[in-house]
Amino acid sequence: MESAALLKAIIENAIDGIITIDERGHIESINPAACALFQYTPGEVIGKNISVLMPSPDRENHDGYLARYQRTGDAHIIGIGREVRGLKKDGSVFPFRLGVSQVQYSGRIIYNGFIHDLTREKDAEEKLRGYAAKLEELVEERTSSLKETVLALQAAKEEVSLSLEKEKELSQLKSRFVSMASHEFRTPLSAIQLSAVLIEKYSAQKDNENIAKHIAKIKNAVRNLTSILNDFLSLEKLEAGKVEPVYAEFDIVKFAEDIIEEMQMVAKQNQLIVYEHTGTESLAKLDQALLKNCIINLIGNAIKYSGENTFIEFNTEIADKQLFVTVKDNGIGIPENDQKHLFEAFFRAHNTGNIPGTGLGLNIVTRYTNLMNGKIKFQSKVNKGTSFTISFPQ
- Cβ atoms 331, 307 nearer than 8 A: yes
- Report d(CA 30, CA 272) in Å as an integer: 122
- Report d(CA 9, CA 2) in Å as an integer: 11
Helix (H), strand (E) counts: the chain: 11, 12
Burial of 142 (0-12, 13-18, 19+ CB in 10 A): exposed
- With respect to ligand ATP, which residue has the nearer C-beta, 369 or 386? 386
For ligand ATP, the binding residues in 268-297 under the rule CB under 6 A are 297
- Quote the least distance from Cβ 244 to Mg ion, whole Å: 24
Q: Which residues contact 243 (CB under 8 A, 6 or more apart)?
A: 234, 237, 290, 367, 368, 371
- Cβ atoms 312, 271 nearer than 8 A: yes
62 binds ligand ATP (CB under 6 A): no
- With respect to Mg ion, which residue has the nearer C-beta, 30 or 345? 345
- Cβ atoms 126, 97 nearer than 8 A: no
331 binds Mg ion (CB under 5 A): no
| DSSP bridge pairs for 275 | 314
For Mg ion, the binding residues in 249-308 under the rule CB under 5 A are 301
Residue of 86, 188, 361, 374 that binds ligand ATP (CB under 6 A): 361
31 binds ligand ATP (CB under 6 A): no
- Cβ atoms 307, 378 nearer than 8 A: no
- Quote the least distance from Cβ 362 to ligand ATP, whole Å: 3
Span from 106-114, 116-124, 311-319, 340-348 in contact with ligand ATP (CB under 6 A): 340-348
349 binds ligand ATP (CB under 6 A): yes
- With respect to ligand ATP, which residue has the nearer C-beta, 194 or 382? 382
With CB cut-offs between 5 and 8 Å by kind, which of ligand ATP, Mg ion, none does residue 113 bind? Answer: none
Angle between helices 288-304 and 361-371 (to 10 degrees): 150
- With respect to ligand ATP, which residue has the nearer C-beta, 301 or 316? 301
Residue of 211, 386, 390, 392 that binds ligand ATP (CB under 6 A): 386
- Report d(CA 64, CA 60) in Å as an integer: 8
With CB cut-offs between 5 and 8 Å by kind, which of Mg ion, ligand ATP, none does residue 332 bind? Answer: ligand ATP
360 binds ligand ATP (CB under 6 A): yes
Strand pairing of 17-21 and 27-30? antiparallel
CB neighbours of residue 101 within 10 Å: 13
- Quote the least distance from Cβ 293 to Mg ion, whole Å: 11
Span from 62-70, 274-282, 288-296, 327-335 in contact with ligand ATP (CB under 6 A): 327-335
- With respect to ligand ATP, which residue has the nearer C-beta, 27 or 221? 221
- Report d(CA 39, CA 100) in Å as an integer: 21
- Report d(CA 83, CA 95) in Å as an integer: 7
- Cβ atoms 303, 267 nearer than 8 A: yes
176 binds ligand ATP (CB under 6 A): no
361 binds Mg ion (CB under 5 A): yes
Span from 138-146, 165-173, 277-285, 353-361 in contact with Mg ion (CB under 5 A): 353-361
Angle between helices 361-371 and 208-239 (to 10 degrees): 50
**Angle, CA 385 vertex, CA 382 and CA 389 arms, to 5°:** 120
- With respect to ligand ATP, which residue has the nearer C-beta, 27 or 267? 267
- Quote the least distance from Cβ 324 to Mg ion, whole Å: 20
Residue of 62, 214, 348, 367 that binds ligand ATP (CB under 6 A): 348
Interface with ligand ATP (CB under 6 A): 231, 297, 301-302, 305, 329, 331-334, 342, 347-349, 352, 357-363, 386
Interface with Mg ion (CB under 5 A): 301, 361
